[in-house]
Each structure stands twice: as C-alpha cells, then as structure tokens.
Amino acid sequence: MFDKILIANRGEIACRVIKTARRMGIATVAVYSEADREARHVALADEAVLLGPAPSRESYLVIDRIIDACKNTGAQAVHPGYGFLSENEEFARRVEEEGLVFIGPKHESIAAMGDKIASKRLALAAKVSTIPGWNDVIESAEQAVKIAGDIGYPVMIKASAGGGGKGLRVAYGDKEAFEGFSSCRNEARASFGDDRVFIEKFIEGPRHIEIQVLGDSHGNCVYLWERECSIQRRHQKVIEEAPSAFISEATRQAMGEQAVALAKAVRYQSVGTVEFVVGRDQDFYFLEMNTRLQVEHPVTECITGLDLVEQMIRVAAGEKLGFAQPDVRRSGWAMECRINAEDPFRNFLPSTGRLVKYRPPAQTMEASLPMPATGGVRVDTGVREGGEIPMFYDSMIAKLVVHGHDRNDAIRRMREALNAFVIRGVSSNIPFQASLLANPRFVAGDFNTGFIPEQYPGGFSTAQLPHDDPDFVIALAGAVHRWVLEREAGLSGQLRGHEMTIRGDYVVVVRGDAGARNFHPVRLSVDEGATRVTVGERNHTIRLTGSLREVAIFGECDGAPFCAQVELVGLDYRISHNGLTLLTRVMSPRAAELYALVPHKPPPDMSRFLLSPMPGLLVEVAVEAGQKVLAGEKLAVIEAMKMENVLLAAEDRVVAKVAAGKGESLMVDQVILEFE
C-alpha cells in the first residue's frame, strides 16, 4: 500500500479523496492554483504544492508541474479526481513512465474509451447494444448536415473527446445540425484540444442510466448496480439517484453484464462508468464509458456500502477485489442534489463571490465511513464559510446526498436537508432543486432527460415554487415576530409605564415583485410554550425547538417537524421554506393600513443597456455600433466557470455604442452595449 499520494485536483473531490486516504493511513499532497491558496482541500492535506496562476490551463492542466510535485514530495501515486486530467491518456501514461502509479485505469483503457468513435467500435465488437450513427470523423458542417439527414432527425452531435455536457448538441433540422457542428467543434477544441465530432441518432423520451463497474489487475470485474441520471439541464446532471425506479431486474442485470463485458474487453482496472440511453420500452444503447470516478459516486456508495475511492486505491496498489458479483448488495435508496453557485431566477447564470454564510445541514453520514443502518444525510464539499467561489472553475458548491429506506423516504429527507442548507453571499440552485423534488411527475418517477425543458419551458421563476401549505409561511412570520417581541419585552431598563406590550392582532404583509403587497391579518397567542397563530379561519400551533440565533430554525407546526430559514432584513423577515423565499413584514393593523397607501418606487429602466450578468471574460462581441439587431439575435458571449454564456437581444433594437471589447474581464452589471 502507498505511504503518500498526490491528488491532482481541487475542491470537493480533492477533499473527498483526502478523507479516504486519511482513514487508510496514507499521507496526502494537495496541489493548488493562486486562486485556491486558501481553499479547503489545501488546508485538509498533509502537504500542498503551488502549481501556477488561476486559469486551469496554467495550473491544474500542466502535467509537468504535477509530475514535479510528486517527485519533490515523495508521492508514490496520483489520484486525478474527476475533470481536469482525469481522463487524459497522456497524463496517465506520463505518470506510469515516471515510475509513479496512476490511481485509475491504464492509459490504454483511457485511450480506448476516451475516444467516443473508437469506443463505439469496441462496444460493437463486445456485443454491447449501440445507437445507430456515423462513427467516423466528420470534416465539415456541410457533411454533418448530409449525414444527419441520412440518419434521420433528431440527431445528437457529439465531440469525440467531450464530456460534462461540453461539445454536445441536439439537432432537429439542417440549420441546427450546421450550427451545432460548428459549436461542438469550437467548444471541444477549447475544452479538450480535440475537435473531432461524430453524429448518432437521438433517442426520444430517453432515460440516462449508467452502470458503475469495478475491475482489478487480476481479471476480476463486477458491476455495482445503476444510477438514474435523467434529471439534466443542458446535458448537465442535476439530481442523481440509485437505484432507478424505471428499469426491471432483468434489464438491470442485462445492462450490468454488458457493462462488465465492455470493461473486460479493454482490461479495465479501476472504477468506471458505462453510460446507457434507455428508451421507453427499456431497450438500452451504449453511450460512452467514463474512465474515472463520477461526480455522483456517493449514491452508489450509499446503496452498496462500498467506499469507491478506497477500491480505486486498493486496485491501483495491485490488490485483488475482495468480493465477487453475488456479494454486491443493494440496500435502500440514495439521492444526490448538486448544489451549484448559479442563479436559477436569471437563467442559471454563474454566481461568484464570497460565501458570507455557509452552513450545510447536519451530517449523519460521512464519506469513507460505514453507512448508518437508518440512512441519513451526507455533504461532500470543497468550500467553507468565508471562502471564495472563483470564476475560473466549475460552479459546484457541494453535493447533498441522502439515503432512505425507499424512494419516497429519500425525497422527504432531501427536501428537509435542502431547507436546512444555508448559503449566503452567492446565489445557489437550491430553490430549483426544491421545485424539482416537489414536482408530481418527479415524485411519481415519470420523467426522462427532457423533463426539465418540458416542465420549465420559459425558464425558472418563483411562480414554479408551489408550496405544500402557503399559510405556513404566513403563520411562521407571525410566530417569529411574537418570539422577537417577547425577547425585547424581557429586556431590563424599560421606562416604567412605557414597557413594551405585545398585541394579539397583527397583519403579515408579503412583499412581491413590482411592488406587490398582500395583507394577511393574523391573531397571535401563547399556549403552553407554543405560539398559536390564526390565519384566516385556520389555527396553527408552532413550537420552536432550536434557536433564533441561527438562520436555519427548527420546530414543529401542528405536531409535524419543520426546518425553515429566517433572517431579519431591515424591517422584514426573509423566510425560505421548500424553495420558496418570501419577504414578510409584520405590522399592527393601523400601520398596515398606512403602509398600503405608500406608493411603490419602481427601479430605474435599464433596458437601454446590455449588462454583464456575471463576472467573466468577454470572448465575443457579435455586433457593432449602428447595427440593427432582432429579438433573439446573439449580442455577446461571456466565458465563466468553464462555460460559454451567450447573451441574446430581448427585443428589436439599434446598437448605439459598444462599451466593452473582446478579451475584457467584466464585473457584474458592467455595461457591454448601449441601445438607441
């Protein structure tokens, strides 16, 4: 076994590997860029080595510097994590040539499966079901259009070296095929240094289901069941779960056996994932093999009780698998939500900055530790309160994982955990996750990879956050106000005859968009330590079991436990529950009557400007001064968090001035264009 390993990655996955290595008694070396000097993975590791400037191409992607860091620290092996160099054949080969051990598959296996064209040919030879398509390199957009027409629309245009949703487009016609080919090629060249593109038939109404495999250097290979990854936005997974509620035991076994056959065909030695697209009738087709640890590996760890990072390390050290296929258990139901730094109400634009508050829910499960029999909550993260979310890397803040005895139990636990997850300073996608988990179709398991665009065709908004009980937030605002007043009434030094008195009747004003105000009369009283709140004709009894000092407060409402987030913002209480956030103001009836007469001051009209919605690099300005643009036309492209964000015209306008140039680093709300 190794004495010391280097983790050639950052963030959450670097922290995850460190946990297992520490339990196994292995020392760890972290690497970091200048942007990550204060990062959590640097603090957790036994040693840390600076690689270079913030951009990954000058730090985390520089193979020579990582090799030098291994030699200088005496690390015997390298764990690549996921992303960056994890599926880079040259990196794995160089590590091996330098006398080090790559904690992952051999470079020959990475090469065979990393090339999606070659991998499809290998899959065919191994008698794995594959999708009809064109598996040779396509040289031009015109050729792509012809091939797509021959296959029959819709088609999927994919970069051969692509991954993580990059270099992938779905085309439903010639125009989309032409443009999609060019976009895929450019994106693949920028992200992977390989611009080869191929085309295959797009299966409509598909499920994305993947099989986790594990092989050793002694010819043993098993599958560790499946993961359901169909809930995706722009080909990026949002919620993953294991097992899948869709497939039968027969389909599960057939997929597993085909995945093992493919892994054995390339003499696979490590953990890997064989991805399938599954049609409505449970026919399944090979998509690709990811020759690395997956982001969503915790859900497999939950249902099998295996530590996949430990298995990777043991296999890399030459050990045999300690179990065979019949020994692989499957227990309960696991679910993972990716918590990303993005604003779901602004079309999921990246959100960077400092984590002013970061309080994950209480953990009852921990990576690398045995699974509790009763299930629980796990948070895999690479950040901490006060840390920065930089613009140079992906937007993931944490992975929130729950394990329950069945799917409904897992959904319930996840909703509770999301309610308790406090993130301030940057926007997060928690409201969107909460909306997905409450969606009746998701709860019923009735979805495919098109679920999000089908359910949210115009994007995401607060209107898509239906609450189980809208009166609960009103009642909670009233109860919180009563608790605050009781605390103030107990303060010493009050002037005699002018002590604070607590009324029984109040009005909860809910403030909405564009100055909307909704007035809700409530009556408050105290009954045996609980607050009784009457909203309309309904009575609620709310009991606080935690402290108001924390943002996330715990209690019971009518006997049922709850967690909600409550903050005092000026005169308002900002209350968040089940994804819904409301600004409420609790007032006396007379004050509410006067407040209703106060006019709303609208914000200034900024429609004459195109503002940068995020910090990032302006990689393209597609228009010039004096040009007439039509609604939907591309205006500019901003690169942030490894993704290109295209800004489109909201309406027909004429460009008066170009205020920012290509290559400029933009701040949030910086003016890019002015319109007449």
Question: Percentage of residues in the chain with pLDDT exceeding 70?
Answer: 99
How would residue 563 be classed by pLDDT, with cut points 50, 70 and 90? very high
CA distance 95 to 91: 6
- Quick check: is 664 in a domain? yes
- More confident site: 195 or 231: 231
Q: Are residues 299 and 441 in the same domain?
A: yes
Q: If residue 648 lies in a helix (H) or strand (E), which one and from where to where?
A: strand 643-648
Selecting among 288, 336, 416, 644, the annotated active-site residue is 288
The rounded mean pLDDT for the chain is 93
Q: Are residues 294 and 425 in the same domain?
A: yes
Q: Are residues 96 and 13 in the same domain?
A: yes
Residue with the two structure tokens 């613009």: 391
CATH code of the domain containing 18: 3.40.50.20
Contact 10, 52 (CB under 8 A): no
Contact 635, 575 (CB under 8 A): no
Q: Name 641's Cβ contacts closer than 8 Å, sequence gap at least 6.
A: 341, 350, 352, 391, 392, 393, 394, 395
Q: Are residues 577 and 623 in the same domain?
A: no
Measured at the CA of 615, the angle between CA 609 and CA 616, to 5 degrees, comes to 100
CATH code of the domain containing 527: 3.30.700.30
- Quick check: is 465 in a domain? no
pLDDT per residue as tens digits for the range 262-312: 999 999 999 999 999 999 889 999 999 999 999 999 999 999 999 999 999
Residue 128 has a pLDDT of 95
Q: Are residues 160 and 215 in the same domain?
A: no
CATH code of the domain containing 158: 3.30.1490.20
- Quick check: is 309 in a domain? yes
CA distance 363 to 420: 11
Comparing CA positions, the residue from 263, 286, 273, 274 lying closest to residue 216 is 263
Residue 397 has a pLDDT of 96
CA distance 551 to 276: 42
Residue 53 has a pLDDT of 95
Q: Are residues 241 and 363 in the same domain?
A: yes
Residue 164 has pLDDT above 70, yes or no: no
- Quick check: is 118 in a domain? no
Q: Name 191's Cβ contacts closer than 8 Å, sequence gap at least 6.
A: 162, 166, 167, 642
- Quick check: is 620 in a domain? yes
CA distance 523 to 505: 5
- More confident site: 235 or 102: 102
What is the average pLDDT across 417-427? 96
Contact 36, 392 (CB under 8 A): no
Which of 548, 571, 595 is the C-terminal boundary of a domain? 595
Residue 163 has pLDDT above 70, yes or no: no
Q: Is 97 a catalytic residue?
A: no
Q: Are residues 621 and 574 in the same domain?
A: no
Residue 166 has pLDDT above 80, yes or no: no
Provide the 8-state DSSP code for 98. T
CA distance 3 to 313: 11
Q: Are residues 492 and 391 in the same domain?
A: no
Residue 52, helix vs strand vs coil: strand
Could you give the number of structural domains in the chain?
Answer: 5
Which of 407, 432, 456 is the C-terminal boundary of a domain? 456
pLDDT per residue as tens digits for the range 8-24: 999 999 999 999 999 99
Q: Are residues 401 and 526 in the same domain?
A: no
Q: Which two tokens stand for residue 419?
A: 């309610």
- More confident site: 616 or 59: 59
Residue 466 has a pLDDT of 67
Question: Percentage of residues in the chain with pLDDT exceeding 90?
Answer: 74
CA distance 220 to 314: 13
Q: Are residues 415 and 559 in the same domain?
A: no
Comparing CA positions, the residue from 141, 169, 168, 172 lying closest to residue 154 is 172
Q: Are residues 420 and 491 in the same domain?
A: no
Other Cβ atoms within 10 Å of 194 Cβ, number: 16
Residue 415, helix vs strand vs coil: helix
CATH code of the domain containing 671: 2.40.50.100
- Quick check: is 114 in a domain? no
Comparing CA positions, the residue from 324, 304, 289 lying closest to residue 118 is 289
Residue with the two structure tokens 């308790």: 420
Residue 125 has a pLDDT of 92
pLDDT per residue as tens digits for the range 374-389: 999 999 999 999 998 8
The domain of 221 spans: 207-456
- Residues, the chain: 676
Contact 55, 27 (CB under 8 A): no
Residues 558-582 as b/e (b if ≥16 CB within 10 A, e otherwise) read eeeebbbbbeeeeebbbbbbbbbbb
Q: Name 568's Cβ contacts closer than 8 Å, sequence gap at least 6.
A: 484, 574
Residues 326-364 as b/e (b if ≥16 CB within 10 A, e otherwise) read eebeeebbbbbbbbbbbbbeeebbbbbeebeebbbbeee
pLDDT per residue as tens digits for the range 315-345: 999 999 999 999 999 999 999 999 999 999 9
Which of 201, 233, 251 is the C-terminal boundary of a domain? 201
Say which range, 19-23, 185-189, 305-309, 576-580, has the weakest mean pLDDT.
185-189
- Quick check: is 126 in a domain? no
Helix axes 63-73, 89-97, angle to 10 degrees: 30
Q: Are residues 244 and 317 in the same domain?
A: yes
CA distance 11 to 123: 34
pLDDT per residue as tens digits for the range 491-501: 888 888 888 88
Residue 75 has a pLDDT of 98
pLDDT per residue as tens digits for the range 206-231: 999 999 999 999 999 999 999 999 99
Helix axes 174-192, 141-151, angle to 10 degrees: 120
Beta-strand relationship, 77-79 and 101-102: parallel
In single-letter form, the type of residue at position 187 comes to E
Residue 642 has pLDDT above 70, yes or no: no
- Quick check: is 302 in a domain? yes
